[in-house]
Structure 1
Amino acid sequence: MHDMQIRNLAENTQKSYLIQVTSFARHFRRSPELLGPEEIRAWLIYLREERKLAPASLGATIGALRFLYRVTLKRPWSDEDFPLPKKPFRLPVVLSLGEITTFFESVASLKHRTILMTAYAAGLRVSEVVHLKVTDIDSKRMVIRVNHGKNRKDRYVMLSPRLLEILRLYWQDAHPKEWLFPGSIPGRPIARHAVGDACELARKRSGITKPVTPHSLRHAFATHLLEAGTDVRRIQLLMGHRSLSTTSRYLKVATSTVCATTSPFDLLPHPAPIPSPPPAPQYF
């Protein structure tokens, strides 16, 4: 626990690592100090074959075990001792501008609508938008401060003038004190699952058949910026991505780069029309 705190791991990461290591030890009914690479492989096979976990879900388990044995227990083990299954690459499903508009019109609550609009307008993760404070909205500089985003990194994102109007309307109605979007528990922000539930309810009301989650709005933010001609590097900074390759995946779904490219089929000369088949002979 102290090793994670010293390295400033996010609170959710610390909780996840503890859960993963505890499950690993309980499965073999021994202290992790007495377990090794063979048990790690057996545990991963069990999770994959018996528990039917997807490769992406095994990432947290492997991350926790790597931290435990390499950092805390200082075992000189290599990456091969923590086999990571290859994750299938899936492109995000992106909402069009029209679908975004329809979706927002289907959010009945002013508070929930403001939360989801903020997530889209600034490209925020759901954990970032629920932890916004009133003081994070800087209307003089027209920026939003994101405190302790993913990997504990702060950043600034744009404050849309249109979003500022919505936020002021919401503030006049709710008068939030500390947290911009307070939850049902006094002194705590709104829960992530509450935002997810509001998102799913709005999707059903809108009639949109594509999957819509708070993270879908972040995908749409990046894709729509790219389609509008924004530089990929600038989008990376706004999204808070560590690697440019993470941001570059939106090049694969942006219509400005995919659909605007001319197919070589369109460069071919028009072929002669296909002759009509001869009429069938008449027998009676």
Structure 2
Amino acid sequence: MESNLKVWHLPDNEQNRIHFKIPAAYLSLPSKEGILAIQKFSNWLTSRRYSPNTVKTYTEALKSFLVFHRELLVSEITNDHIILYNNDYILKNNLSASYQNQIVNAIKLFFKIMLETKIEIEKIHRPKRAKVLPNVLSKQEVKAILNAPNNIKHKPMLSLIYSCGLSCGELLTLQPVHIDSVRNIVLIKNAKGKKDRIVPLSPKILEILRAYFVAYKPSVYLFEGRIKGESYDDRSLQQVLKLALKKAEITKPVTLHWLRHSYATHLLESGTDLRYIQELLGHNSSKTTEIYTHVSTKSLQQIKSPFDDL
């Protein structure tokens, strides 16, 4: 008991939480020190010009880790505590390897900028990730999806994603000035890795875009929502794809990123050099682009099955 304030100090542990029926909402928060650490981490990421999505992802990942170890001082956390978190939280809750990898990214970066720490960053191991191939649609399926929308705005949105290999975020941050109709290119600003890149623009897409532009006259973003000057909502775009799939009678769990994967694979199958595809997609490493060689069926289709000779 503290004599001046006349209050009792009890350890913040599981036994006392159960005994005093501490609300679950409280238990979902880190310690006060942890909350301050997360805020400092967020400020540091923002000052380094990390994207808002990355700041949110990293701070939420760090929060999950610090909530699990809320009884520890941040400076007392060791590599053993990371292993304990992986085993008793990640694995016990059947969370994915990609989520675990996000946690590792956040922890490594956070403790890299910590002044006093017991963590040995080089000894933090990553989960062994499954080699999952990208999902790819046939050209016939892509055509059915892109022809499905009747809406003059929906059609060019989906068409641009496929024809230029864009991510959802890249599409929604496009501005009218990024469409160069003279050189037939699209300028993608501040793409992943804070890099600009250019991709060729199909003349067929340009015709669709001109009709759309005359009808909607976007002011700031190429594709705006109900409020002029504000970018189209990504959830609404996902709904556009969902409706197109239903109309095209495609039951596969297609996402917008499937269109980007299909763009890369179809380029490869048509003979485009892998180095050019890497540039078009904005990949830092050629290894990332090489995965499309495993889903291209052009070479596989030339292989004759021994079953045919039976």
Distance in 1, matches of 2:150 and 2:116, equals: 53
Partner of residue 49 from structure 1, selected from 74, 91, 109: 91
Q: Deviations over 1:132-179 (max 9, x none)?
A: 011110111111010111111110111111110111111111110110
Segments of 5+ residues of structure 2 without an aligned counterpart are: 1-41
Q: Deviations over 1:50-88 (max 9, x none)?
A: 3321101222111111100013447562332x2211111
Distance in 2, matches of 1:32 and 1:143, equals: 50
Tell me, yes or no, if the aligned pair for 1:24 and 1:43 is still in contact at 8 Å: yes
Distance in 1, matches of 2:91 and 2:272, equals: 44
Distance in 1, matches of 2:224 and 2:305, equals: 55
Length, aligned pairs only: 267
Paired letter, 1:15: K
Distance in 1, matches of 2:162 and 2:73, equals: 45
Partner of residue 291 from structure 2, selected from 241, 246, 249: 249
**Residue 19 (structure 1) aligns with:** 60
TM-score (norm 2): 0.80
Moved more, 167-176 or 65-74: 65-74
Identity %: 32
Distance in 1, matches of 2:116 and 2:241, equals: 44
Distance in 2, matches of 1:31 and 1:21, equals: 14
Partner of residue 79 from structure 1, selected from 119, 122, 125: 122
Tell me, yes or no, if the aligned pair for 1:145 and 1:154 is still in contact at 8 Å: yes
1:23 Cα deviation from its structure 2 partner: 2.4
How does 1:192-203 map onto structure 2 within 5 Å? Answer: 192-203=234-245
Question: Residues 92 and 164 of structure 1: is their aligned pair in 2 closer, same or farther, counting only changes over 3 Å?
Answer: same
Partner of residue 58 from structure 1, selected from 100, 106, 123: 100
1:91 Cα deviation from its structure 2 partner: 1.3
Distance in 1, matches of 2:212 and 2:172, equals: 15
Paired letter, 1:160: S
Distance in 1, matches of 2:89 and 2:153, equals: 40
Segments of 5+ residues of structure 1 without an aligned counterpart are: 272-284
TM-score (norm 1): 0.87
Q: Larger RCO: Structure 1 or Structure 2 (Cα < 8 Å, ≥ 6 residues apart)?
A: 1
Find the residue that maps to 1:18 and give its secondary structure. helix
Distance in 1, matches of 2:84 and 2:265, equals: 41
Question: Residues 46 and 121 of structure 1: is their aligned pair in 2 closer, same or farther, counting only changes over 3 Å?
Answer: same
**Residue 168 (structure 1) aligns with:** 210
Paired letter, 1:20: A
Tell me, yes or no, if the aligned pair for 2:218 and 2:228 is still in contact at 8 Å: no
Cα RMSD for the two superposed structures: 2.1
Tell me, yes or no, if the aligned pair for 1:70 and 1:77 is still in contact at 8 Å: no
Moved more, 138-147 or 42-51: 42-51
Find the residue that maps to 1:148 and give its secondary structure. strand
